[in-house]
Structure 1
Amino acid sequence: MTVSKTVRVGVISGSTRVVRAGPQIVAWVRDIIEKDLKQTPAPGGVALEFETIDLGALGLPLLDEPGIPAHIGTAEGYTHEHTRAWSRQVAALDGFVFVTAQHNWGIPAGLKNAIDYLYNEWRGKPFMVVTYGGHGGVHAAAALQLVLGGGLKMLALKETVNLTYPGKDVFDKCARGQPLGLPPAGTATIWQDRQEDIAKTWRELAASLATKAEKAT
Structure 2
Amino acid sequence: MPQLTIIIASTRPGRAGAPVARWLGGRATAHGGFDLHIADLAEIGLPMMDEPNHPRLRKYEHAHTKAWSAIVDASDAFVIVTPEYNHGYPAPLKNAIDYLFQEWAHKPVGLVSYGAVAGGVRAAQAIKPVLQYLKMIPVSESVIIPFVAKHIVDGEFQATSAIDASATVMLDELQRLEATLRPLR
1:63-102: CA deviation from partner (whole Å, max 9, x where unpaired): 11121112x14xxx11222111111121111111111111
Question: TM-score normalised to the size of structure 2?
Answer: 0.90
SS at match of 1:118: coil
8 Å contact 1:14–1:98 — kept in the other structure?
Answer: yes
Q: Does 1:52 align with 2:35?
A: no
| Post-superposition offset of 1:180 | 4.3
One of 106, 116, 120 as aligned partner of 1:137: 120
In 2, the alpha carbon distance for the partners of 1:97 and 1:140 equals: 14
Matches within 5 A, 1:38-117: 42=33, 48-70=34-56, 72-73=57-58, 77-117=59-99
Superposition RMSD in Å = 2.0
For residue 40 of structure 2, what is the amino acid of its counterpart?
D
1:14-63: CA deviation from partner (whole Å, max 9, x where unpaired): 111122121110011121222233xxxx4xxxxx3110111011111011
| Post-superposition offset of 1:158 | 2.2
In 2, the alpha carbon distance for the partners of 1:27 and 1:124 equals: 26
Q: Does 1:170 align with 2:140?
A: no
SS at match of 1:121: helix
SS at match of 1:63: coil
Question: TM-score normalised to the size of structure 1?
Answer: 0.78
In 2, the alpha carbon distance for the partners of 1:159 and 1:142 equals: 13
For residue 9 of structure 1, what is the amino acid of its counterpart?
L
In 2, the alpha carbon distance for the partners of 1:14 and 1:165 equals: 18
Gaps of 5+ in 2: none
Kindly tell me: are residues 100 and 65 of structure 1, through their superposed partners in 2, closer, same or farther at Cα, counting changes over 3 Å?
Answer: same
Give the match for residue 148 of structure 1: 131
Give the match for residue 162 of structure 2: 193
Structure number with larger C-alpha Rg: 1
Gaps of 5+ in 1: 1-5, 43-47, 183-187
| Post-superposition offset of 1:10 | 0.6
| Post-superposition offset of 1:130 | 0.6
In 1, the alpha carbon distance for the partners of 2:154 and 2:49 equals: 32
In 1, the alpha carbon distance for the partners of 2:104 and 2:184 equals: 16
In 2, the alpha carbon distance for the partners of 1:153 and 1:216 equals: 11
SS at match of 2:2: strand
In 1, the alpha carbon distance for the partners of 2:160 and 2:81 equals: 14
One of 116, 119, 130 as aligned partner of 2:101: 119
Q: Does 1:22 align with 2:17?
A: yes
8 Å contact 1:163–1:191 — kept in the other structure?
Answer: no
8 Å contact 1:141–1:160 — kept in the other structure?
Answer: no
In 2, the alpha carbon distance for the partners of 1:153 and 1:212 equals: 11
